[in-house]
Structure 1
Amino acid sequence: MADNLATKKSGYLRPGPIESFISNGLKAQDYYFDLPLKHTDSSCKETIVVFARRVIAVERQGDAEKLPWLIFFQGGPGFQGPAYNTGWVKMAAKKYNVLLLDQRGTGLSTAITVQSLSHFKTPQEQAEYFMQFRADSIVRDSELIRETLLGNGYNAVPASITAAYITGGIPPVFDSLETVYRKSYKSVVEHTERYYKRFPSDIKRVKKIMKYLATHEVKLPTGGTLTPRKFQQLGLNFGVSGGMDRVHALCLQAFVTLNGKEEMSSLFLTEMASQDQIPPIYAVLHESIYCDGPGVSSNWTASKLLNGEFKSTFKYSVEEFGQYEDDSSKLVYFTGEHMYDWMLDDYVSLQPLKECADILASYTAWPKLYDAEVLARNTVPVAAAMYYDDMYVARECSEKTARGIQGIRLWVTNEYMHSGLRDNEGVLTKLFKLVSGEIDVPIA
């Protein structure tokens, strides 16, 4: 596979040599593209850099130009593409040119960080910049990259797609933000109860940790304070393989005794400090990914529900729990994949974005992300893996969306958690077979 492939193509590829390497039986090539910041505003000449890595099995280099391309879109939002030597990538690289995209704002692309955002003069300017980093812009980026690498002209999606594979749930196209978060709160309650069934001694341990945090000012090594509500956010781990074990390990090492006095251990606080490093896109744009069109605002929905109908479930106070320290039926519930307005106060790394985040939460002029009519007359083969107990994406919402996508092949399984693709490349193999017709499931 010639290293100068993309330099021959017209389009947005940055000039200069393409960096490449061989490792673990894979050939990787790194590309950087200069793409428009605003795809729908031709008067804006500002560009950003988007990074993509092409991966193919070494033994397929000779016929790489004949192989189809498979582009991977990372969830989140706000996280970079996976490592090139991930299990499913190794498998797919034997059949495809796999393109691992650091979506705009992440990884080696022009990243959104507190440092880069500090160059804007006002929170309003920061917010307007954030607005360019949703899925609609990412899809347009990928089309320009496809046009550049393949050199066969620009085609509007979905004309440029031969098949689509979805893992980790289907976006809730037809449900409100309130419905999505209401179901996610109920799901994390169920997962918390499973956690305590697996580790019953943690019922008392968690109460002890919460009481200590509520009655002491516990500073993290990276700055800021570890509050009870921040500790409760560890429930985010419950939705992926090994997540409950990780939280249990943290609880086991929470305290150390020095000179006859218990205090929070440095090991525990170091681990908790790593939880503080939340990508700005994930924190600030998380609720906006559900804002599908004008007239809809996110309005800190997770916070409203937490302070409203779910307050009695998740609220912690020393006064209330003090009388239940030895009562195994009284549980401290963890929260899940929810972003809260108070995080802009509690997380030192996010504090500079507080005003910007509030502007985005009240914004109502979001463009459409999905076209229900296009989905209803879809002709592109689609296979989706839906995990029955997915803590992050409610099964009922995924099923409703699936019913609106013509021809989708839906595989529902309880074998995997949300991390199924990372845990076993067999997930993608099965989706390949669903599209090729090697195995059957009902077609919507």
Structure 2
Amino acid sequence: MTSGNQSKGVSQAEGLQQSSWTRGGLHLKDVTFEAPFDHFGGGAAKSAAASLAAPVSDKPQGPSSIEIFARIVATEADSQKPYLVFLQGGPGNEAPRPTTPVGGSTWLARALEEFQVVMFDQRGTGKSSPIGSVAGRITGLDAVGDDPADIAEALSHYRADSIVEDAEILREALGVDTWSLLGQSFGGFTALRYVSAHSKSLDEVYFTGGLPAVDTDPVTVYARTWEGMKRKSEQYYRAFPGDREKLSHLIDLADSDDGIALPGGARATKERIRLLGHFLGASDGPEKLHYLLDQDLTSAAFRHDLAAALPFSGRNPLYAIIHESCWADGGVTEWAARRAMPDDVQADPTLLAGEHAGPESLTEDPELAPFAEVAELVAKREWPRLYDVDALRAAEVRGGAAVYFEDAYVPAELSLATAELLGGVKPWVTNEYEHNGLRADGYRVLDRLISLARG
């Protein structure tokens, strides 16, 4: 056993490259494996879920395979505990990197009491063939070429359906018949796809702020989240009465001279400033927004902090490019959040947005600008269905779902409608937490869901 960040060597079993190490009382195993780039056609072997996600085009796009990275975390070497797969929010974010010792009040501490935890870098993120842009050039998709249409086609293989098939390869390689899931936000969307496509591979499934709408136009979803953000905006200004005037002044600055110049060459116009409302979706977010606006708006410090505060950045480009597609259970998104914007929000830019991406998120950021034309093509794409309602009703998986009553991003009423399809998953509706409940009070949230699932 090693006591620090030291490799115990690399082994290869069942197609996995593995290395193990120990740190802070945690035993970690890093694994990489190859998965088909296209699980559903284009020359790759078709999966059992192929009927749910028939490709729009038979033209192969991208490489034949893609490298996927995952980290398995346990409290002892050679653990025999069952596996729990953590599916993180996003899309487009890599898995968290565990840094805390065993114990504490985190969801990971609770999970490790009875599970080994599998943390995936979902394809295109982290160490799983990451996608980005460097010096104005798209990286991570070299095999696709430079044609925006080809890149847009390739990005159709980065949704929840492909992520689930990647996970199935690892499950089989580890030699386990079933494992359990914990899906946070977009990770819950991925978990629901898993139930729809491979319920027999699952023991338990837990959702935190991530039960998506099924067979629902994304415009309908975003219309509801706009109404929620209107309420949260007004609540914020009641809590911090002077901040509406500060934000209005900031918007005036953004409306002049082609936007506020930010470090790195990015600019922020009115609609990007509106996205500061994403703070209001977290329990500690209102205070963070207030402290940001409390700075001198003309200072360099403020501009650096503003750049860091805006969502949809070049750090995780998939978040901006395919974000709306995660809601697309069939159909075309076509900038659904912008199309759903109410007239009163359009007229009053101090009514803030959450995860309401628009084209300017790409065009005003030089790191995202190479993807701007690609994003327009993705927005026009006809998406296949993600969920099979009959399969969801038939699934015998038990679990629990935290449905946050005031969730800024996943409307509670739509989550509860989906929960009705899952006979073994018990919802817990609460206003104790915002969308970040798993981060804010993870031990208690996961413990409550485990208790619900097991009666």
TM-score of the two chains, using structure 2 as the length reference: 0.83
Correspondence for 2:174: 149
Correspondence for 2:228: 187
Distance (whole Å) between structure 1 residues aligned to residue 429 and residue 217 of structure 2: 23
1:281 aligns with 2:318: yes
Which of 139, 153, 178 is the matching residue for 1:116? 139
Correspondences of 1:134-145 after superposition (within 5 Å): 134-145=159-170
Q: Is the 8 A contact 1:175 1:397 kept in 2?
A: no
Which of 302, 326, 337 is the matching residue for 1:268? 302
Q: Is the 8 A contact 1:300 1:340 kept in 2?
A: yes
Correspondence for 1:420: 437
Correspondence for 2:276: 234
Deviations 1:17-56 (A, max 9, x none): x333322321111111111101123624621111111101
Correspondence for 1:92: 111
Distance (whole Å) between structure 2 residues aligned to residue 339 and residue 203 of structure 1: 22
Distance (whole Å) between structure 1 residues aligned to residue 281 and residue 220 of structure 2: 19
Correspondence for 1:352: 370
Deviations 1:361-411 (A, max 9, x none): 1111x2321110011122110211111111110011111111122232111
1:10 aligns with 2:14: yes
Shift of 1:334: 1.1
Q: Is the 8 A contact 2:226 2:353 kept in 1?
A: yes
Distance (whole Å) between structure 2 residues aligned to residue 201 and residue 128 of structure 1: 47
Q: Is the 8 A contact 1:284 1:357 kept in 2?
A: yes
Letter aligned with residue 224 of structure 1:
A
Correspondence for 2:25: 25
Correspondence for 2:53: none
1:409 aligns with 2:434: no
Which of 59, 63, 73 is the matching residue for 1:55? 73
Distance (whole Å) between structure 1 residues aligned to residue 141 and residue 200 of structure 2: 40
Q: Which moved further from structure 2: 273-282 or 76-85?
A: 273-282
Distance (whole Å) between structure 2 residues aligned to residue 284 and residue 169 of structure 1: 20
Q: 1:52 to 1:117 in 2, by over 3 A?
A: closer
**Partner SS state of residue 34, structure 1:** strand
Distance (whole Å) between structure 1 residues aligned to residue 9 and residue 369 of structure 2: 44
Correspondence for 2:327: 290
Q: Is the 8 A contact 1:303 1:341 kept in 2?
A: no
Distance (whole Å) between structure 2 residues aligned to residue 393 and residue 270 of structure 1: 30
Correspondence for 2:384: 367
Q: Which moved further from structure 2: 46-55 or 114-123?
A: 114-123
**Partner SS state of residue 33, structure 2:** strand
1:337 aligns with 2:380: no
**Partner SS state of residue 109, structure 1:** coil
Distance (whole Å) between structure 2 residues aligned to residue 42 and residue 97 of structure 1: 35
Gaps of 5+ in 2: 45-62, 101-105, 180-193
Distance (whole Å) between structure 2 residues aligned to residue 136 and residue 6 of structure 1: 30
Distance (whole Å) between structure 2 residues aligned to residue 54 and residue 407 of structure 1: 27
Distance (whole Å) between structure 2 residues aligned to residue 390 and residue 351 of structure 1: 30
Letter aligned with residue 389 of structure 2:
A
**Aligned residues between the structures:** 401
Q: 1:224 to 1:35 in 2, by over 3 A?
A: same
Deviations 1:46-70 (A, max 9, x none): 211111111011xx436x12x1000
Q: Which moved further from structure 2: 113-122 or 334-343?
A: 113-122
Letter aligned with residue 95 of structure 2:
G
**Partner SS state of residue 163, structure 1:** strand
Q: Is the 8 A contact 2:271 2:360 kept in 1?
A: no
Shift of 1:184: 0.5
Correspondence for 1:327: none
Distance (whole Å) between structure 1 residues aligned to residue 150 and residue 14 of structure 2: 33
Distance (whole Å) between structure 2 residues aligned to residue 35 and residue 288 of structure 1: 22
Over the residues paired in the alignment, what is the CA RMSD in angstroms? 2.4
Correspondence for 1:313: 345
Q: Which moved further from structure 2: 243-252 or 107-116?
A: 107-116
**Partner SS state of residue 340, structure 2:** helix
Indicate the structure (1 or 2) with the bigger Cα radius of gyration.
1
Shift of 1:229: 1.9
Shift of 1:267: 0.7
Q: Is the 8 A contact 2:11 2:19 kept in 1?
A: no
**Partner SS state of residue 20, structure 2:** strand
Q: 1:118 to 1:348 in 2, by over 3 A?
A: farther
Distance (whole Å) between structure 2 residues aligned to residue 161 and residue 5 of structure 1: 31
TM-score of the two chains, using structure 1 as the length reference: 0.85
1:206 aligns with 2:247: yes
Letter aligned with residue 125 of structure 1:
D
Gaps of 5+ in 1: 256-263, 317-330, 438-444
Shift of 1:333: 1.2
Letter aligned with residue 75 of structure 1:
G
Q: Is the 8 A contact 2:204 2:397 kept in 1?
A: yes
Larger strand share, 1 or 2: 2
Correspondence for 1:126: 151
Distance (whole Å) between structure 2 residues aligned to residue 153 and residue 24 of structure 1: 29
Q: 1:196 to 1:419 in 2, by over 3 A?
A: same
Distance (whole Å) between structure 2 residues aligned to residue 218 and residue 159 of structure 1: 52
Shift of 1:5: 11
1:80 aligns with 2:94: yes
Which of 251, 258, 263 is the matching residue for 2:293? 251
**Partner SS state of residue 222, structure 1:** helix
Shift of 1:8: 5.8
1:299 aligns with 2:331: no
Correspondence for 2:55: none
Distance (whole Å) between structure 2 residues aligned to residue 25 and residue 207 of structure 1: 50
